[in-house]
């Protein structure tokens, strides 16, 4: 009897325990923090691997660029000969693909042949005709008061923006507008396409031979620019910059520049065939948008030799805002004054560049975010100055009148292409257009006030 009672009590206790609900285990704050730390550590490892892979890829790119630059140097400082590989159709059937702002005919079946180009005479002529303008050049310094040549009728300038490089933009101009270059079998060719090179103050081509990718270094890697800048005339340009650096080293540099006519471009660049210019800002026919197909990617052969074409290059050193601010401690109260001083120096230099192109008779010019990149000039400021020189003009100094002087280089050139690759493109284009919009609003308000 006692055993039955004990068994019933044991069974009841088991039943009672079995119906007791089991509550889920709650994580404490320490375990939650540990989970977050593990997640953050994993993300950091992923980002580290990405940076490492990107660094390795860039290192390989720079090594390849250095090899290309060395080969370019041997050509332009040597015999001036190179072999372009061309695809020649071996089949009557062909297909059409889009590229370079026009249609390219690609054969279905083709064979590759080598075409030898000898550009030695053109390189020699470019070196002989290279001109160095000193810092004290009265001719360039008078750009503000000089009068542009009169044309009757005077066409409106067409302004375009593109994310491609300067030489890619120049090649499109050469391809689409054949009237910009003169070809005569009995004489050397000439061109009216100008390109602004953001020059190094130290040496021809900057660090192009080490695989650098600044704007001038890209031009030097794909053309004969280094040969022209190695001429005795250009040597004065680098001596002047060394003198200014030894005297103040401020990063403002001087206004000396070099004009090199007939520089030979004979290589294709990275983004060739990838980016088409946007619609012109001031009229003209609309260009095709970028084609993201695999055809464009398969045709991209960076650094490959191409049929040579010519550009006229102005080499000028932009203000190095980064160097200036490293050397001088600027108090918060003086920041606006310093920014205005940098802008003033840049405006004067950019005006001299345009005066040089104008005097030399160039009709289409390729510009950009002059002083962007390692010089760290504000791209908004650069775009604002270009807009002032080409379109909007400047407020009359010393008066309270909102009236503006006419833009000094308004309608001087037939075409202006702003080649701004990379992250600055959107801000640069927006700043240029904003300056134009502000001027239009001011003009409307002035006309309304005059009517009243």
The angle that helices 166-176 and 215-222 make with each other, rounded to 10 degrees, is 50
In this prediction, residue 375 carries a pLDDT of 80
Q: Which residue has the tokens 């980002």?
A: 47
In this prediction, residue 38 carries a pLDDT of 82
Partnered with residue 314 across adjacent β-strands are 196, 259
- The pLDDT tens digits for 165-206 are 999 999 999 999 999 998 776 667 899 999 999 999 999 999
CB 111 within 8 A of CB 90: yes
- Domain annotation covers residue 92: no
- The pLDDT tens digits for 324-360 are 888 777 788 888 888 899 999 999 999 999 999 999 9
Per-residue pLDDT at 26 exceeds 60: no
- Domain annotation covers residue 29: no
Length of the chain: 452
Token readout for 24 is: 């889920």
State mean pLDDT over 300-313. Answer: 88
Per-residue pLDDT at 41 exceeds 60: yes
- The pLDDT tens digits for 200-240 are 999 999 999 999 989 999 999 999 999 999 999 999 999 98
- Between CA 133 and CA 260 the distance in angstroms is 11
- Domain annotation covers residue 259: yes
- Domain annotation covers residue 236: yes
Split into its structural domains, the chain has a count of 1
pTM listed for this prediction: 0.80
State mean pLDDT over 35-57. Answer: 82
Q: Which domain holds residue 128?
A: 121-451
Half-sphere exposure of 443 (CA within 13 A, CB side): 13
The angle that helices 29-76 and 215-222 make with each other, rounded to 10 degrees, is 40
- Between CA 107 and CA 90 the distance in angstroms is 8
> For a pLDDT cut of 90, what percent of the chain falls above it?
49
β pairing state of 131-133 and 257-267: antiparallel
Distances (CA, A) of 413 to 20, 87, 196, 281, 359: 90, 37, 14, 14, 11
Least confident interval from 302-306, 324-328, 348-352, 427-431: 324-328
- Domain annotation covers residue 10: no
pLDDT band at 73 (very low <50, low <70, confident <90, very high): very high
State mean pLDDT over 121-143. Answer: 95
Distances (CA, A) of 9 to 16, 18, 175, 409: 10, 14, 102, 107
In this prediction, residue 440 carries a pLDDT of 82
Cα angle for residues 255, 260, 265 (degrees, 5° grid): 130
- 190: domain CATH number is 3.40.220.10
- Domain annotation covers residue 86: no
Cα angle for residues 59, 73, 132 (degrees, 5° grid): 115
pLDDT band at 318 (very low <50, low <70, confident <90, very high): very high
- Domain annotation covers residue 217: yes
Kindly report the average pLDDT of the chain as a whole number. Answer: 82
User: If DSSP states are collapsed to H, E and C, what string results for 37-104?
Assistant: HHHHHHHHHHHHHHHHHHHHHHHHHHHHHHHHHHHHHHHHCCCCEEEEEEEEECCCCEEEEEECCEEE
- Domain annotation covers residue 363: yes
In this prediction, residue 13 carries a pLDDT of 52
Total Cβ atoms within 10 A of residue 182: 13
Radius of gyration of the chain, Cα coordinates, nearest whole angstrom:
31
């Amino acid at each position: 009897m006692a055993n039955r009672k004990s068994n019933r009590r044991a069974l009841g206790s088991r039943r009672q325990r079995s119906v007791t609900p089991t509550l889920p285990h709650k994580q404490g704050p320490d375990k939650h923090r540990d989970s977050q730390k593990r997640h953050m550590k994993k993300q950091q490892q992923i980002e580290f691997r990405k940076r490492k892979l990107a660094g390795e890829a860039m290192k390989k790119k720079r090594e390849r660029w250095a090899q290309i630059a060395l080969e370019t140097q041997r050509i332009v400082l040597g015999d001036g000969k190179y072999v372009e590989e061309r695809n020649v159709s071996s089949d009557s059937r062909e297909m059409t693909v889009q590229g370079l702002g026009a249609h390219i005919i690609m054969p279905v079946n083709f064979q590759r042949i080598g075409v030898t180009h000898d550009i030695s005479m053109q390189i020699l002529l470019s070196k002989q005709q290279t001109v160095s303008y000193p810092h004290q050049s009265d001719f360039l310094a008078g750009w503000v008061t000089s009068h542009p040549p009169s044309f009757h009728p005077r066409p409106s300038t067409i302004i375009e923006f593109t994310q491609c490089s300067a030489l890619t933009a120049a090649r499109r101009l050469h391809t689409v507008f054949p009237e910009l270059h003169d070809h005569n079998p009995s004489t050397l060719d000439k061109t009216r396409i100008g390109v602004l090179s953001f020059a190094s103050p130290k040496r021809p081509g900057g660090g192009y031979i080490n695989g650098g990718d600044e704007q001038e270094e890209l031009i030097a890697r794909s053309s004969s620019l280094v040969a022209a800048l190695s001429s005795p005339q250009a040597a004065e340009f680098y001596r002047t910059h060394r003198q200014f650096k030894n005297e103040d080293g401020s990063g403002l540099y001087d206004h000396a520049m070099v004009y090199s006519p007939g520089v030979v471009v004979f290589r294709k660049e990275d983004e060739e065939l990838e980016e088409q210019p946007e619609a012109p800002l001031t009229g003209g026919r609309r260009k095709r948008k970028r084609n993201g197909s695999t055809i464009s990617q398969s045709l991209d052969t960076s650094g490959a030799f191409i049929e040579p074409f010519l550009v006229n290059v102005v080499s000028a050193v932009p203000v190095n805002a980064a160097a200036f601010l490293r050397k001088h401690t600027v108090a918060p109260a003086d920041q606006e004054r310093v920014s205005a001083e940098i802008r003033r120096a840049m405006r004067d230099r950019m005006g001299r560049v345009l005066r040089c192109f104008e005097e030399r008779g160039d009709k289409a010019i390729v510009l950009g975010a002059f002083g962007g990149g390692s010089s760290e000039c504000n791209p908004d400021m650069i775009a604002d100055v270009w807009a002032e020189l080409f379109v909007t003009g400047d407020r009359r100094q010393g008066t309270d009148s909102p009236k503006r002087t006419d833009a000094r280089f308004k309608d001087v050139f037939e075409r202006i292409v702003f080649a701004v690759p990379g992250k600055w493109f959107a801000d640069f284009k927006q700043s240029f257009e904003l300056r134009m919009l502000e001027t239009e609003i001011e003009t409307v308000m002035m006309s309304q006030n005059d009517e009243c």
